[in-house]
Amino acid sequence: MAFILEESCSKIGMNYMPDNLIDTNIILYAYDSSEGNKHVISKNLLKQIWGKGGGIVCLQNLMEFSVVITSKVENPIDLDIAKTIVEDIIKSDKWRVIDRM
């Protein structure tokens, strides 16, 4: 899985960390359909994590995601949907949410 994530991230100009630390932008692109190829690649990355696990995300990244996806993207999503996404990540055994680096 590490190689797939590394290769996919390099295609969209992002750095991948071997421990599967997922940046805010990856989560944003996965839910922002206006981002074209970045959306497709990021959505596939998150599908892999939801299926196999191994995702690590900082609490701050989830807060940033909520703000940006509900107000600063071309097609914002409803706050309740963003809240559900964040809650699902926090509750999931496929993700590890860390408070600080």
Residues 68-93: tens digit of each pLDDT: 999 999 999 999 999 999 999 999 99
Assess whether pLDDT exceeds 90 at residue 29. Answer: yes
Contact in structure between 64 and 24 (CB atoms under 8 Å): yes
Largest CA distance in the chain: 34
Confidence label for 20 from pLDDT (cuts 50, 70 and 90): confident
If one counts the domains in the chain, the total is 1
The residue segments making up the domain with residue 18 are: 2-98
Show the tokens assigned to 56: 């690590």
Integer-rounded Cα radius of gyration of the chain? 13
Percent of the chain whose pLDDT exceeds 90: 75
- The average pLDDT across 7-29 equals 76
Contact in structure between 49 and 22 (CB atoms under 8 Å): yes
User: d(Cα 51, Cα 87) in Å, to the nearest integer?
Assistant: 17
pTM, entire model: 0.78
Contact in structure between 76 and 59 (CB atoms under 8 Å): no
Residue type, 79: L
Confidence label for 99 from pLDDT (cuts 50, 70 and 90): confident
User: d(Cα 76, Cα 31) in Å, to the nearest integer?
Assistant: 9
Quick one: pLDDT at residue 36? 95
